[in-house]
Structure formats: C-alpha cells, structure tokens
C-alpha cells in the first residue's frame, strides 16, 4: 500500500530544496545596477536601476524594460518610470553598455498596437538609427524571431522582422527602398544576407546602417 504521508513529505522536501536553491541563486544576483535616466527636460540623473531576471536564471530579462523601468532611491524608495515619464535610461551590465530611449514609431493602422515604448539603441548616427525591439525565443532558448526599427534623421522609420521563413531578397528590397536616397549603399545591401541562418542577419543590418552613417 502506498504511504501517502511519506510521498507527501518527499514532495515537500524536494520543493523546499528547489526553493532554497532558487533563493540562493537569486541572492547571488544583484537586484540593482548603477545607471542613469534622462528627464523630459534633458537632465541626466545618476540612479540605481532594478534589473529584471528570468526565473532560475541569472540572465537579464531586457524585454521587461520595454514599457517601464524601476529606479531604486534610498530616500524615495522605488520609482517606476513609463515611456511618457522620461526620455530614456542606460546602464553598464556585464561590461556592456545599454541605452534605452522612449520612442513612438506610430501605428501601421487604426487597429494596430501602439509602438510607443523603450527601445534599445543599437546605433545612433547622424543619418540613421537602429533600435532593437524584441527577440522571441522558444523554451530551449532558440531564437524564433528578431524585430528592429530603422529610423532616418527626418523621423522616417520602418520595422524589420527577421525570422526563419523570411526571404533574403525581401529584406534587401526593404532596405533599398528605405535607403533609396543612398544608392551608394545598395551594392553593400545586395552582398548581404547570404547566410542561411537568419540569426546572423542582424550583423549585416548593423554593417549597413554603419555604412549609411559614413556616407
């Protein structure tokens, strides 16, 4: 006969072990990191930024910064800033600098969701900017898709969606149309996106935007 009591105790013992392990792992991860935020009046304020993490992982959950950022103040406590409250924020994490800006790229139509959120700035140039919006992954961590926004100095912008079934020629045509005033860069665009793995195409886009800013 099955001893329900023993099975229950084993279950709770195992659960307690997992919770203890999780608590220890999380305790080793700093909950705040030094950074700054920029007010709507262009004042830069040094601050401690609360860093969100994935459960059971030390990996930073940067997607959580899309709509808000939490500032930890020793006097005022936690202050939550949304996209309308500040112009942006930044920090140094694992020797990498991150900068997020409040941007509104408009709606594709009356029924589409608002694009106003914090975007990670990949390239900020005199002629063109590149922002990362979202990277979608499956439970195993494999990348399913990446979304970027390109922006010109006059505010013109376009979204770029990278995923497994997207055709390289579609991306090339989209970029040449967006940079139709910079025909010099079209030769470079035609030479890119040769790798079958779309995950590597983000490097091609970065190189193209860098080239545009050098023209």
pLDDT in tens, 133-147: 988 877 766 788 899
Q: Does the pLDDT of residue 7 top 80, yes or no?
A: no
How high is the pLDDT of residue 150? 96
The CA–CA distances, whole Å, from 206 to 40, 44, 63 equal: 29, 28, 20
Average pLDDT, the chain: 83
- Residue 188 CA to residue 170 CA, distance in Å, equals 15
Total number of residues shown for the chain: 215
| CA–CA gap between residue 145 and residue 133 (Å, rounded) | 11
Least confident among 31-40, 57-66, 107-116, 174-183: 107-116
- Name every residue whose Cβ is closer than 8 Å to that of residue 25 and which is 6 or more positions away in sequence: 56, 58
pLDDT at 64: 87
In Å, how far from its chain's centre is CA 208?
20
Report the candidate in 147, 132, 141, 58 with the shortest Cα–Cα distance to residue 98.
132
What does the pLDDT look like over 148-164, one tens digit per residue? 999 999 999 999 999 88
What pLDDT sits at residue 58? Answer: 67
Question: 9-40: string of b/e by CB count within 10 Å (b at 16+)?
Answer: eeeeeeeeeeeeeeeeeeeeeeeebebebbee
- Per-residue pLDDT tens over the stretch 25-84: 444 455 889 999 999 999 999 999 998 877 666 677 788 899 999 999 877 788 999 999
Name the band, by pLDDT with cuts 50, 70 and 90, for residue 110: low
pLDDT for position 109: 57
Look-up: residue for tokens 């030094």?
34
Given a cut of 90, whether residue 203 has pLDDT beyond it is yes
Consecutive H or E run containing 37: strand 32-39
């Amino acid at each position: 006969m099955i001893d329900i009591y023993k099975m229950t105790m084993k279950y709770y013992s195992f659960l307690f072990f997992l919770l203890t392990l999780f608590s220890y792992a999380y305790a080793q991860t700093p909950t705040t990191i030094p950074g700054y935020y920029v007010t709507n009046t262009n004042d830069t304020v040094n601050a401690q930024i609360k860093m969100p993490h994935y459960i059971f992982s030390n990996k930073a959950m940067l997607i959580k910064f899309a709509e808000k950022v939490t500032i930890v103040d020793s006097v005022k406590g936690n202050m939550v800033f949304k996209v309308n409250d500040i112009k942006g924020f930044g920090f140094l994490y694992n020797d990498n600098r991150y900068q997020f800006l409040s941007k509104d790229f408009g709606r594709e139509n009356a029924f589409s969701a608002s694009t106003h959120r914090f975007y990670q700035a990949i390239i900020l140039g005199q002629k063109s900017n590149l922002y990362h919006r979202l990277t979608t992954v499956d439970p195993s961590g494999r990348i399913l898709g990446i979304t970027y926004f390109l922006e010109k100095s006059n505010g013109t912008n376009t979204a770029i969606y990278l995923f497994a079934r997207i055709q390289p020629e579609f991306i090339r045509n989209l970029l040449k149309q967006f940079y139709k005033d910079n025909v010099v860069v079209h030769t470079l665009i035609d030479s890119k996106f040769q790798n079958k793995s779309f995950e590597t195409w983000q490097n091609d886009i970065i190189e193209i935007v860098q080239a545009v800013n050098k023209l």
